[in-house]
Chains A and B, each alone.
Chain A
Amino acid sequence: MSFEAFLIQTGVNGLILGALYLLMAVGFTLVFGSLRVVNFAHGEFYMLGGFAAYFTTVTMGLPAIASIPLAFLFVAVLGLFCERAVFRPFRGDELNGMIASIGLALILQNGALMLFGPMPLAMPPFAEGLTRFGSIVIPTSRLLAIVISAAVLAIFYVVMMHTRVGRAVRAMVQDAEVASTFGIHPGLVYPLGFALGVGLAAVAGAVMAPLFSVSPFTGHTPLLKAFLVVVLGGLGSIPGAAIASLAVGLIESYTATFYGSLAADGLILLLAVIMLVMRPNGLLGRAMRVG
């Protein structure tokens, strides 16, 4: 492999990580915006998305492409249930809502451990073979991961920006009281925001399942990275999250390749600390209201 091809391959890996972090961060931000809950269980929904993908493709034998919408659907429905059972009693109570989410994370992770065991499961890739762009060769499965993530984010963007439901959710996030006087029900928007948010985490889990592995413990890293992306990009800012995700993914990929993954994680944490000192609201974030 030439050095150039090696650099490009590293860049592709960076983009894949960026897409993963973006899917996580966007869902995380949506949940925070609609419920005002810092969802520590977000990574567990990623993990469950991975298991959903595994069971639909490996156990049930469905085509890999079908696993993504099914993972989304399964986790979104589970999200509806969790919102109702876990978060509704803490509505308007940010601190206890957050603590409840930590409890939910423990339940989901240990539940997965009981049901599926601790052994990582391997999933076959979306596609075999390589895709060539001139002299550049990229594994088709990796290319597909990027394309699918981009497509899901595009669909999400269109739904949020250009549909009546998306507008209602955004209005509720921006001013719940005024939105309610125009007939928008918080009772509908909260579960919807949560289900959509964790559904995106499930899509991330399903897309990444063939590239990494599926186990009850895979949720930690994506959650941590979603936090960092949100710190870097600014909570509530989707463009900020997009820039930060790609930056974190690429920095991580190149640094890990040349200096090891320890250096990569250290560098990204350092960036987050610098950002918190220099620009506490993140790259494109707005000032946060506390309390």
Chain B
Amino acid sequence: MSWTLISGLTMTTTLRVRDLRVSYGPVQAVRSISFEIEPKAIVALLGANGAGKSTTLRAITGLQRPVEGEIEFEGRSISRITPMQLARAGIAFSPEGRRPFGEMSVLENLLVGAHTRPRDVAKKLDRIYEYFPRLKERSKQISSSLSGGEQQMLAIGRALMAEPKLLLLDEPTLGLAPLLAREIMRILREINDEQGISILIVEQNARMALKLCDYAYVLASGRLTAEGTGGDLLKGDYIQNAYIGN
């Protein structure tokens, strides 16, 4: 599936995952899934705890080597990518649990995000502070002293500093108050609109993710059980099935 432009050129799919299988020893966490992310799209990967969502993300980042399958980013295979090559390739990752560098200030965390692209740091910082004014107020503060919501903003900001074309977000609203979670979602939409960054978001909070995303895939026990636009899935009972079981 690719979008044909008026000029006749085809725009390559941002991310294409085919027949991905990932195991931890004898445990099969992901059993052959395939999905795609079109350029500038927000795609959600939904499912209950242990469905294989985070494992899929870890396979894309190179943190977990897949047993089988093909992962392509902008037409090039990244199935054997190492995490160290990720940022340079144009993918940034906000991990589950946010994981700020706890003994560093907010500003230092953001600077580490720009490790592979240290040019125009001031401009990039300004833009991130526009999305997250709270981070600017706390820029000198040690990141472990931030609230959960602020740490999430920092994790997203740190990822954006790498100037990615694809942003991978693992459970960005986990443990956040609903109001704050909605605020994060709103800003993600803004980032997507303004910068054209594709986003792959893994969430347990299905309703909120479906409102945000253009397209979603539902995972259960390591398999895809449903897919569709956010609106379609919100109407159906796929989600309930995925979380509660048939």
Residues on A lying within 8 angstroms of B by beta carbon are: 164, 167-168, 170-171, 174-175, 177-186
Contacts and interface: CB of A to CB of B under 8 A. Distances in A.
B81 to A, nearest CB: 11
Contact of B112 (A167, A177, A185, A186): A167
A181 B87 contact: yes
Contacts of A186: 84
A171 B104 contact: yes
Contacts of B63: 177, 180-181
Nearest to B112: A171
Interchain residue pairs A-B with the least CB separation, the first 6: A183-B116, A180-B83, A183-B87, A174-B101, A171-B112, A181-B93
Contacts of B104: 167, 170-171, 174
16 contacts: A167-B115, A171-B104, A177-B95, A178-B93, A178-B99, A179-B112, A180-B83, A181-B61, A181-B83, A181-B87, A182-B116, A182-B158, A183-B84, A183-B115, A183-B162, A185-B84
Q: Interface range on chain B: under 10, 10 to 19, 20 to 34, or 35 or more?
A: 20 to 34
A182 B95 contact: no
A257 to B, nearest CB: 38
Contacts of B174: none
A177 B108 contact: no
Contacts of A164: 111, 115, 118
Interface string B108-122: 100111011010000
Interface string B39-75: 0000000000000000000000101000000000000
B101 A171 contact: yes
Nearest to B85: A183
Interface of B: 61, 63, 82-88, 92-93, 95, 99, 101-104, 108, 111-113, 115-116, 118, 158, 162
Contacts of B112: 167-168, 171, 179, 182, 184
Nearest to B108: A167
A177 B101 CA distance: 11
A182 B158 CA distance: 9
A174 B102 contact: yes
Contact of B113 (A170, A174, A175, A182): A182
Contacts of A185: 84
Contacts of A181: 61, 63, 83-84, 86-87, 92-93, 95
Contacts of A170: 101, 103-104
Contacts of A182: 87, 92, 112-113, 115-116, 158, 162
